[in-house]
Amino acid sequence: MKSSSQARTPLPAENTADAGLDPLVALCKASGDRLRLRILRVLRGNAYGALELSHIFQMRQNAMSHHLKMLTAAGVVTFRREGTHIYYRRAQVQGPLAAVTRELLQAVDNTDLSPALGDRIDAVQRERDRSSREFFRLNAEKFRQQQDLIAGYPQYGEIVVAMLDQIGDPSQRDILEVGPGDGELLPDLHHRCRRLTALDNSMEMLQRAKNFAESAGLPGIDFIHGDTRTALQLGLEADVVSLNMVLHHTPAPAAVIDDLARVLRPGGSLIITELRQHDQDWARTACGDLWLGFEPEDLCNWAADAGLEPGLVEHSALRNGFRIQIRQFLKPRHRPSATDIH
């Protein structure tokens, strides 16, 4: 007869089988908590630091870090280091648990945030936005010089114009430029559209663009002070939206792309010029950057979530190790359904 100790010893095959369940165990453990599910809901479409999430959920940062560690171990949250900052976001679903994870996240996204939680999220976004606006208020006069340390208009302007020349009929399109900066792209846009609108949330930068347009003899440009949400509130529509070196200054990049997708008419194009992800933290203080660039999949995923399709792509290497990506995203035209055909 076997001893009791021998009877309790698991077989090697059982150990192997149990190890295969570890990812599912981690997912179930991470998702079996109401607070962690709410964290996943908040991380939909945006990234936050642990301190920001601590404020949103009104809890100590070490406790929030514990929850984020469990969600990261389960593969539903990932983090990205940007200089001295670490931001958490939802991970891209993949692997053998992709189907069940998508179902879980869809169920989470179908829940509503409480008004109090929504207010605290808005407060975080306002603080980010305030920081960005304050930078441009104080640095409008020297912003071009500081921006040229990374990527000035000469590094991407011709590529944007060449991409614009490949799409649409200039006499039949309206263009919206978001964040025109000093206005250097305005002449090329002005000659390639029926109507041109410039939108900027910094009154100081908008005035600089307006002064440039006046000195260049560019009549008929509509200059609007506001952000992409303002564009929606005003009912703006465009066939082309130009967003150059702006997204890394915005508090919620995914929300900006979603707003602009709504502004686009069917068949329209969103052209984004952006830095690839980098680790040069000095750009935050020198240029007011909120984000240290983006990976291509970031832009593609946000665009896809907004209902846009990928189009033309160009890349450019810059000095000091910075890299630029210039991407076109298309808003699909209406495709006739079976009922339309019949």
pLDDT mean across residues, the chain: 86
Q: Where are the domains of the chain?
A: 4-113, 139-341
**Locus of tokens 């009791």:** 4
Long-range CB contacts (within 8 A, 24+) of 291-294:
291/82, 291/247, 291/248, 291/253, 292/82, 292/83, 292/248, 293/248, 293/322, 294/247, 294/248, 294/253
Here the tokens at position 303 are: 């665009």
* Phi, then psi, of 164 in degrees rounded to 5: -65, -35
Please report the pLDDT score of residue 84 as a whole number.
77
Cα dihedral across residues 222, 227, 230, 231: positive or negative: positive
Determine the angle formed by the axes of helices 34-42 and 61-73, rounding to 10 degrees: 80
- Assess if CATH 1.10.10.10 describes domain 4-113: yes
What digits encode the pLDDT tens for the residues 274-300? 999 888 887 887 778 889 899 999 999
pLDDT digits (tens, 9 = 90+) for 160-204: 999 999 988 888 899 999 999 899 999 999 999 999 999 999 999
Quick one: pLDDT band at residue 14, thresholds 50, 70, 90? Answer: low
Topology of domain 139-341, CATH: Rossmann fold (3.40.50)
pLDDT (0 to 100) of residue 336: 42
pLDDT in tens, 261-275: 999 999 999 999 999
Helix, strand, or coil here: 272?
Answer: strand
- Residue 341: per-residue pLDDT: 39
Whether this prediction's pTM lies above 0.85 is answered by no
Instruction: Give dist(CA 297, CA 78) in Å, integer.
Output: 14
SS3 call for 235: coil
